[in-house]
Chain A
Amino acid sequence: MTQYLLSVVHETDYEAVTEVTPEIQAQFDRVGAFNQELMDAGAWVFAGGLMPPSSATVVRSDGVDVSMTDGPFAESKEVMGGFWVIEAPDLDAALTWAGSGSAACGQAVEVRPFQEP
């Protein structure tokens, strides 16, 4: 089994959810059901949604001096909004999960294998 990172790619910057509209609730429900599916199949490792890139701080250290910058590392068009870490026997299985995940959250999902330990 290999672990894969399925990252949710937002095509534009996004705001944190402040008000749960019926549409947003429906999406939460879909993602919840997908998470349950992953757990039932034994494919679940970890998952989570991220606050918007505006909440980010970049930290650099050479072991002595620490510097910090406000904002995301790179201003890019696409931003990561959340992710799943799953276990799958091969890429095709991971791609199938990514398809269901993308349908559930309504965003594109990028699939990358973890390095083997």
Chain B
Amino acid sequence: MESPETLDLDRIYRREAGRCVATLIRVLGDVDLAEDAVADAFTVAAERWPTTGIPPNPGGWITTTARNRAIDRLRRESGRHERHRAAARLHESGPDMHDRPGDESAQDVGDVTVVSDDQLRLIFLCCHPALSPDVQVALTLRLLCGLETPDIARAFVVPEATMAQRIVRAKRKIRDTRMPYRIPEPAELTDRLRPVLATIYLVYNAGHSAPSGSELVRTELTDEAIRLARLVHELMPDEPEPAGLLALLLLTEARRPARIDDDGSPVRLADQDRTTWDRTLIRDGHAIVRSLLRRNQPGPFQVQAAIAAVHADATTWDETDWAQIVQLYDLLLTLRSDDVVALNRAVAIGELRGASEALAIVEELDLDLYAPFHATRAELLRRLGRDDEADSAFERAIELAPNEAERDDLRRRRVERR
């Protein structure tokens, strides 16, 4: 059994590790050094805190201890070590990543201040466009969220060694190419924010629909995604898309209690028990969507949030304001032309103007490897009384469904409405 102290330490680790690593990367100028130093500091904390008690500012304590430990270690390890150069940087030219002048006097012997901008620097580093999207996600989870590599590997159904290799290679590229540790200039912000928001959304989705991995890891992923979305939104309050992403995640998260039935099977939006939706999350999401509507600078995440808000307003599927949903999908398609968006729009058209109009749209889409495409087609065909065609469409959807729970759900739907 775990003692209360270790439980507290785990909680503090969760909350503080990413922030401490973010600051230490700036102070030490190296990702690996920062990670090792923070791990060291938590080891010291695990030894000391049970007797001394938890300090009033645990994050500051960890960061300062980590910095001091790292400097000790660098002094001990002599010139043969490849990290020698980092140590030289540390002493010669101040402690910012790649020799840049620090924006605070972090080389002072005193406490290291944790600057929230550091987390923003770190997320822009993890989601640098010179790194591939799967690497961006992995680095974000590892460095900002403090997740262990085996958990990340499980969440993305990748062998642990592959994921470890991916992370090592990414950190090497950051060091070898001298990626800067900075917040992008206003002129590049739109381009640089896109992969950041996409990564957060991917993290959420991995938790939301993970085909494998423990429930604990999945909840951790969705919680972390919401935390990161909130962080980017709070640190960049003037940017509408981060706000849109946060609202979208809150409104999606609100439906979580209704998404899975007692047997663990997924429940579609149409069949969900809406009384179990989380009203607090819906209220928060709505408030953001309203403020974004006033701002009137639509972007893809904002429009998706608005669609989620319209769904949240309806007490049943049938009472959904489909006209508004279709309008929002029209807007979304002008912002991001994409067949998956077009498929969702077709579902809304099916509710507003009938199955045959919807089917005509669906038949034009190039989504043959996407299970929901065939499932949607199957439902529409059934509504039109074309049962044989519906049956083979269900067949194809079942073949393509990514996990057993979804396959079961499709099998059920296939026989249900005969």
Contacts and interface: CB of A to CB of B under 8 A. Distances in A.
Interface of A: 2, 89-95, 111-113, 116
B183 to A, nearest CB: 12
Nearest to A115: B176
Interface string B232-276: 000000000000000000000000000000000000000000000
Contacts of B178: 2, 89-91, 113
A113 B176 contact: yes
Q: Decide if the interface of chain A is mainly helix, strand, loop or mixed.
A: mixed
Nearest to B181: A90
B297 to A, nearest CB: 26
A57 B84 CA distance: 41
Contacts of A111: 177
A92 B100 CA distance: 14
7 contacts: A89-B180, A90-B179, A92-B182, A94-B177, A112-B177, A113-B176, A113-B177
B130 interface: yes
A90 B130 contact: no
A90 B98 CA distance: 8
Nearest to A95: B130
Q: Decide if the interface of chain B is mainly helix, strand, loop or mixed.
A: loop
Nearest to A114: B176
A91 B182 CA distance: 12
A3 to B, nearest CB: 11
Closest 7 CB pairs of A and B: A90-B180, A91-B177, A91-B179, A90-B178, A113-B177, A92-B180, A2-B178
Nearest to A116: B85
Interface string B167-201: 00000000011111010000000000000000000
Contacts of A95: 130
A2 B99 CA distance: 11
Contacts of A93: 180
A44 B310 CA distance: 56
Nearest to A4: B177
Contacts of B130: 91, 95
Find the residue from A89, A90, A111, A112 having the highest chain B CB count within 10 A.
Answer: A90
Contacts of B179: 90-92
Contacts of A2: 178
A113 B130 CA distance: 13
Interface in B76-114: 85, 98, 100
Find the residue from A92, A95, A113, A116 having the highest chain B CB count within 10 A.
Answer: A92
A89 B180 CA distance: 9
A95 B100 CA distance: 18
A111 B177 CA distance: 9
Find the residue from B128, B176, B177, B180 having the highest chain A CB count within 10 A.
Answer: B177
Nearest to A90: B180
Given A90-B178, A113-B177, 7 more contacts: A90-B179, A91-B128, A91-B177, A93-B180, A112-B177, A113-B178, A116-B85
Contacts of A116: 85
A90 B85 CA distance: 17
Contacts of A91: 128, 130, 177-180
Interface string B309-324: 0000000000000000
A91 to B, nearest CB: 4
A116 B128 CA distance: 23
A32 B385 CA distance: 68
Find the residue from A91, A94, A111, A112 having the highest chain B CB count within 10 A.
Answer: A91
Contacts of A90: 98, 178-180
A67 B280 CA distance: 76
B332 to A, nearest CB: 29
A95 B178 CA distance: 11
A48 B51 CA distance: 67
A90 B125 CA distance: 13
Nearest to B185: A92
Interface string B364-398: 00000000000000000000000000000000000
